[in-house]
Amino acid sequence: MISTLIDTIIDVFPILMKGMKITIVVLVLSSIFAYLFAFIAGLCRMSQNVLLRKFTGFYVEVFRGTSLIVQLFWLYYAIPMLFGFDLGSDMLAGVLAIALNYGAYMSEIVRGSILSVAEGQTEAATALNMSRFQRMRLVILPQAIRMMLPEFGNYLILMLKSTSLVALIGMTDILYYGNILRGGNISQGPTIYLLVLVFYFILALPLIALTKKLEKMSKKGVAVQ
Amino acid sequence: MSNWDWEVFFDAFPMIIQGLGITVGLTIACYIFALIFGFFWTVADRIPIKPIHWVIRWIMEFIRSTPPLVQLFFIFYAWPVVPYVGVALDPFTSAVIGLGLHYSTYISEVYRSGIEGVAPGQWEASTALNLSTKQKWMKVILPQAIPPTIPMLGNYLIIMFKEVPLASTIGVVGILHLANDYGAQYWRYLEPLTIVAILFLVLSYPSAILINKLEKKMNQRFNKKDVLEETKGAAI
Amino acid sequence: MAEVETASTQYTAANNAEPIVKYLDVHKSFGDVEVLKGINLEIKPAEKVAVIGPSGSGKTTIIRMLMTLEKPTSGKIIVDGNYLWHMEKDGKLVPANEKHLREVRGDIGMVFQHFNLFPHMTILENCMTAPIHVKKEDKQTAKQRSIEMLEKVGLGDKIDNYPSQLSGGQKQRVAMARALVMRPKVMLFDEVTSALDPELVGEVLEVIRDIAKEGEMAMVLVTHEMDFALDIADRVLFLDKGVIAEQGPPSEVIENPKNERLQNFLHRFRS
């Protein structure tokens, strides 16, 4: 019993490792774009241009109001039908879905953090005759980003979990190989899926540690309203 | 937009909406499971025996930081073949347990923040009044701990609603599943998937606004503003 | 323009220097509440003006409008011969844009009740950031001048500390150094000692007194420290219900008040 367990683990481990690469690539790419979208959308929602504000507001509400899995399928299956062209690859659809979804959520964090930097900070910067752009760059953003960091860390863990969805559109990530392995040996299903979970947990551990560290860091150096 | 076909839209709509009952029902079942199990975690987390506390924390962390999709697969596909304890579960039950368990770890954090949010003076005052443990919890702590958590719990209801379509991957026939069926049958995914997106938006957006209002009301009632004023005074 | 000239002519008649700041019938409302009901005021270069009055009388609003933190509802403010909230376009006065505001308010500096230091910067960075980015000074000069200014307020040994490591009095001295490095022609002090523990008030007043002695800068102090106002101010304004109810040298206004409400106000402070 124990020996078959160990055998299974030895068999399964290298195959799951193959999926690790795709999981990490999807995580890295989608998180970079998610943070980018979050900043762009967060700042646009505070713009003085009404049209820009409305448009980003629409994006944020649509992506927060529907499910990631629905968005993923939509990008993967529906976009080619709508525009008559493919997004080119499942990688693009997967990364874009995760990035757009989490970008929408995190844009609210960007906006909220900027708004919660104490008003006195803007006033002091004005009194030093800084321009609107300088106030943002030198005074508000450095403090707001400190506030965002722990939340960004939390969302990184959520994004890691969400990368598992790309297996549903045929990408060869950890879960994909897990499914294939289970298909080949149904009685070893529990060990295989447990191992898949452990793989994700091992990837999550440094992110959890990072988030805790960011939480500590963010407590310093901010004037909150 | 040339490929959009209203005929398909109106053909698929009545079919897909039939799954709404399952989707909403599953959301509620998962939510109740999470609320109850979250309570279990919160109590277990307060056990003052170090090793037990430590084990509980790690189990919670493990469940919380691994993908719910894999957890669903584990329960639906793998649990039946687990020696001795394994039983086959239907898709709906598997989803309730899988998603409910996953989110119970989050719900437990909400409970914890509620309890920790009660000012330390309240504990001291109840001790000073010589209340029994039961009286302390029922009369002093919980009445103050619960209301601020209500908006947060509401938020999790909406979050879980949006996670429930994951269950279509193990065969729960909610709206997403029906849309995919339709897509596979007629090779038209655009309209059915758009219908699903619209249904989610139509249900979750007003709920989110409602929760937001509730949150503002709660903040007013619990005088968060006073706290803000104080911190403002201490600004650097 | 005619209005401006009349005002300045009157002024020159009384004193040889051209005023650095003028308020012409300035009103300010917040919603339905009118807090300032027609302020006319001239401040000479190097003049030290103390503004006193009960809370809610609009004293802080007066200087916040000069710092462009609050926009007047009507009336005009002139700084060193230029309109602050207006600019000329095709011979007409139109509301100022951000660029114009920046050009004119460069002459003004301000110290706040709650210090408003930048918590993510060291003390030195707090002081040298604006000279570098706003005045485009080179880094070395800005750094050197900032260090000199911090030494002047007695914090030369703290330049690499962060604001959170300082006492309230020290923070306020940094805030003053930060404003002084910008070499304003007019410096505004908004109840700068009100947020301090009583034992820390002295060190801050000491620094203000030193700055005042140097003379070249006009100063407007909104304050509750009557003895201090008496000591350093050339002129005291008593603001009540949105108007300047009495003004003059401190010896008259504080020692020998005529306005009845001022008498009551001062009485409360003395007792």
pLDDT(C154) > 70: yes
Parallel/antiparallel/unpaired status of strands C108-111 and C186-190:
parallel
Show the CA angle centred on residue A131, arms to residues C185 and A222, nearest 5°: 100
For residues B140 and B126, is the Cβ–Cβ distance under 8 A?
yes
Is pLDDT above 80 for B188?
Answer: yes
Residue A30 and residue A94 in contact, taking contact as beta carbons nearer than 8 Å: yes
Is residue B184 predicted with pLDDT exceeding 90? no
Domain ranges across chain C: 2-107+184-270
Under an 8 Å CB criterion, which residues of C touch A? 67-69, 98, 102, 105-106, 108-110, 112, 114, 116-120, 129-130, 133-134, 162, 164, 175, 178-179, 182
At A118, list the tokens: 């104490």
- Helix, coil or strand: residue A166: helix
- pLDDT above 90 covers what percent of chain A? 66
For residue A160, the SS3 value is: helix
Contacts of C119 in chain B (CB under 8 A): 236
- Predicted complex ipTM: 0.90
Q: Give residue B6's identity as a one-letter amino acid code.
A: W
Which residue type sits at A199? F
Q: Is B1 within the bounds of a domain? A: no
The H or E element containing residue A131 is none
SS3 content of chain C, % helix, strand, coil (to 5): 40, 25, 35
Mean pLDDT score, B118-128: 86
Strand partners of residue C221 = C50, C189
Q: Best residue in A1, A64, A66 to probe B by mutation, most B CBs within 10 Å? A: A66
Residue of A nearest to B85 (CA): A190
How far apart CA B26 and CA B96 sit, in angstroms, is: 7
Domain boundaries, chain A: 2-218
Q: What is the mean pLDDT of residues B57-71?
A: 95
Phi, psi of B49 (to 5 degrees): -100, 120
B236/C195 touch (CB, cutoff 8 Å), yes or no: no
Quick one: three-class SS letters along C217-236? CEEEEECCCHHHHHHHCCEE
Chains touching C, CB cut-off 8 Å, 3+ pairs: A, B
B41 falls within a domain? yes
Residue A216 touches partner C, C-beta closer than 8 Å: no
Neighbours of chain B (3+ CB pairs under 8 A): A, C
The two three-digit tokens of residue C203, written as one number:
């060190």
Instruction: Report the alpha-carbon distance of residue B166 to residue C247 in Å, rounded.
Output: 75
Q: How far apart are CA C245 and CA C243, in angstroms?
A: 6
- Tokens 């998610």 appear where? A34
Is residue C2's pLDDT more than 50?
Answer: no
Task: Please write the tens of the pLDDT for every residue from B129-154.
Answer: 888 888 888 888 888 888 888 888 98
Q: From CA C20, how far away is CA C8, in angstroms rounded?
A: 11
Q: Which of B61-75, B140-154, C28-42, C186-200 has the lowest mean pLDDT?
A: B140-154
Q: What's the confidence (pLDDT) of residue A12?
A: 85
Q: Does A162 touch chain C (CB under 8 A)?
A: no
pLDDT score at C266: 86
A125 CA to chain C: closest CA distance, Å? Answer: 8
* CATH code of the domain containing B64: 1.10.3720.10
Architecture of domain C2-107+184-270: 3-Layer(aba) Sandwich (3.40)
Task: Check: CB of residue C176 under 8 Å from CB of residue C211.
Answer: yes
B233 lies within 8 A of chain C by CB:
yes
Quickly tell me which residue has 């330049």 as its tokens.
C159
Instruction: Mark yes or no for CB contact B82/A190 under 8 Å.
Output: yes
CATH number for domain A2-218, candidates 3.40.50.1360, 3.60.15.10, 1.10.3720.10, 2.40.50.220: 1.10.3720.10
Model pLDDT, residue B1: 52
Instruction: List, for residues A65-111, the tens digit of each pLDDT value.
Output: 999 999 999 998 887 777 766 666 788 899 999 999 999 999 999 99
Range of the domain at B134: 6-233
Banded model confidence at residue C15, pLDDT cuts 50, 70, 90? low
Q: Is B146 a member of any domain?
A: yes
Please tell me the total count of domains within chain B: 1
